[in-house]
Amino acid sequence: MNDRTRLTRRQVVQGGLGVVALVAGAPLLAAEPTPTQTEGPFFPKKDQADKDLDMTRVEGRSEAALGEVIEISGQVRDETGAPIAGALVDVWQANSHGRYDHESDPNPAPLDPNFQGWARLTTDAEGRYRIRTIKPGAYPVGKGWSRPPHIHFKVAKRGFREVTTQMYFAGEPLNDADRLWNSLSPAERGQLTVAFESGRGTAPTGNFDLVLSKV
């Protein structure tokens, strides 16, 4: 049984999520809602059957996506720190060349037919989610402006305000020149900028929590 089979079965059994238990009796920590950022013009529109947690593989293809494999996990909570189960999490991004698989992307960089590019997950009973993907490439937007590597998230749950935002990578030189990253306050940048750690024999991992406010 290969890795993709294991991931797909885990997704079916656990709603597309790795099981990460909360410490029993741990106090809930209040938090500020996740800052919103533009959805951008490249939210996936086409019908795509494969939207599971492993974006490095496309169902029916034997080769893996190009680029550095990373893993992202996190928890969706409300402002009191309580986990939000059953939240819908859309994740989409450019490939390792900095191009989206979208008909409106003018970037001449190559597409990667082995990169899924879009995942749609549901948080587990503890509000947890997990994805396996690749680090996206930067891409030009206009004269003197290139977007740094980033990943788009949209989180929705009835009774809460939907959040659309972007996750950034700590230490990227292009962050400092990015207009969207610079539109954030220092505290907000801290919420959206993730440091990745390399584990022995595993892909670099990062934690990205999201906080929704009640309607």
Q: What is the pLDDT along the chain (215 residues), one digit of tens a residue?
A: 444 444 443 343 333 333 333 334 455 667 899 999 999 999 997 778 899 999 999 999 999 999 999 999 999 999 999 999 999 999 999 999 999 999 999 999 999 999 999 999 999 999 999 999 999 999 999 888 999 999 999 999 999 999 999 999 999 999 999 999 999 999 999 999 999 998 767 899 999 999 999 99
Topology adopted by domain 3-17+30-212: Protocatechuate 3,4-Dioxygenase, subunit A (2.60.130)
147 a catalytic residue: yes
Structural domain boundaries in the chain: 3-17+30-212
Active-site option among 10, 130, 152, 168: 152
CA-to-CA distance for 74 and 206, rounded, in angstroms? 8
100 a catalytic residue: yes
Active-site option among 139, 158, 189, 200: 139
Model pLDDT, residue 167: 98
Active-site option among 97, 99, 150, 168: 150
β-pair type (150-156, 163-169) = antiparallel
Model pLDDT, residue 75: 98
Active-site option among 100, 128, 129, 168: 100
Model pLDDT, residue 158: 98
152 a catalytic residue: yes
Model pLDDT, residue 142: 84
